[in-house]
Chain A
């Protein structure tokens, strides 16, 4: 059941690796034009977007298990052993057990998905992910009808993760989705970026990507997936419930208590780039808004 969603970004918009080296010069040349075109840019049609450079995607990461600075993960994540890797799938499933990463990959169809990625810290990228639909993996495990939510857990390895020495948040990192969110065709487990294996600092060997939610929902280096009938605890919600809700959908009209979410800095666009207006559901409203019909999004943030 792969290929349920087609990229709205065309190939023309992905900067391939040989071209991205020239990207900055191109951007520098068009910077003035971007400023003038500010109003048009706020519409931010997918077609106008450009994938962020590999170098930026892989050097600017929030992966607190390796440290809280943006460059800590790229410095220290090489310590993480990703081969072999198993994902425990348990809870309300027919086929619970340990799934070897290679066995999963043998059964999944990997596609390219070029998604906007909006961090709760008000910056954004465009990432050309490679991955498979989470729905396909859940189908493999056989979800039982009582299951209402999916819980995820990141690896917790004090020997390989220097950041977990500090109680920045309650380790291990955990996340969760409602079943309809998990089964949505936009929701993928990413295993690559730019056609290469996903680097450790970006969540190797497989991570969740939910493009209409703030980045922290897209949990990295998943070791466990549990189907449950209760809303599972999520790491940032446990750390600060007032600031981080269970849903954490990108929403320019609901501010983070400490900063506005109305606009974002687009990474890789230089020191003088204009901020970009943030789009409802990160630009995926057509696909996902109906999931939240009738919900007060200021309450379920």
Chain B
């Protein structure tokens, strides 16, 4: 049994080793571009602006969840996706920017209304805070920043992804009418993935304080 499991881990890991990380960037650009084309071509239904806005936002949430799943997958199942993590993070940010641009330019359409919404509408405020938290992470997702900041400081900064992820899901829960299932499922998964980190580290806390590299896991 165990042997079979570890063979499977090896097989999966060796497949992933052969996939370069740039595939994620390419797939993200291609998907975003394809969705935009569907919008132009009137294939996104009666309300293409909302459809595009929601699809970009949802893509960002899916990728965010994928990023948060990297560590649990490695620790629990021995599947190593670490080399994809930067690309996953940047792809997530890319879709957040697309989501924001569609909202501001195609949906709200006027800068004064964009600002009014950010200030007056709590779900938009929450979404913008999540974006603001992700901004420094995107800017420092490169080797130069990592070297300049040092691994410890860099790792600490990148823990901002946890509050950002929770706020992103809360943003979704808040914007829908009534208590809908989908946004609550997103929130539950994100909370579970973050909660896993705390629970799985409880016995290891001491080891961590003895100088193990800390950072977003």
Contacts and interface: CB of A to CB of B under 8 A. Distances in A.
B121 A265 contact: no
A140 B44 CA distance: 44
Nearest to A24: B42
B46 interface: yes
Q: Chain A contact residues (Cβ within 8 angstroms of B): what range?
A: 20 to 34
Interface in B161-213: 174-182
B118 to A, nearest CB: 12
Interface residues of B, number: 30
Interface string A165-193: 01111000000000000000000000000
Contact of B46 (A52, A166, A240, A255): A52
A274 interface: yes
A contact face: mostly helix, strand, loop, or mixed: loop
Interface stretch (B93-101, B105-113, B145-153): B105-113
B49 A260 contact: no
Given A71-B45, A259-B121, A271-B49, A265 B178 contact: no
Q: SS class of chain B's interface: helix, strand, loop or mixed?
A: helix
B174 A123 contact: no
B136 interface: no
17 contacts: A56-B45, A57-B46, A60-B46, A64-B178, A68-B177, A68-B178, A70-B47, A168-B178, A169-B178, A239-B178, A255-B120, A260-B116, A265-B49, A267-B47, A271-B44, A272-B106, A275-B109
Interface of B: 39-40, 42, 44-50, 52, 106-107, 109, 113, 116-117, 120-123, 174-182
Given A24-B42, A168-B179, A271-B40, 19 more contacts: A52-B46, A55-B46, A57-B46, A68-B178, A68-B182, A70-B47, A121-B177, A125-B46, A166-B180, A168-B180, A236-B177, A239-B177, A240-B178, A255-B120, A258-B123, A260-B113, A260-B116, A268-B46, A274-B109
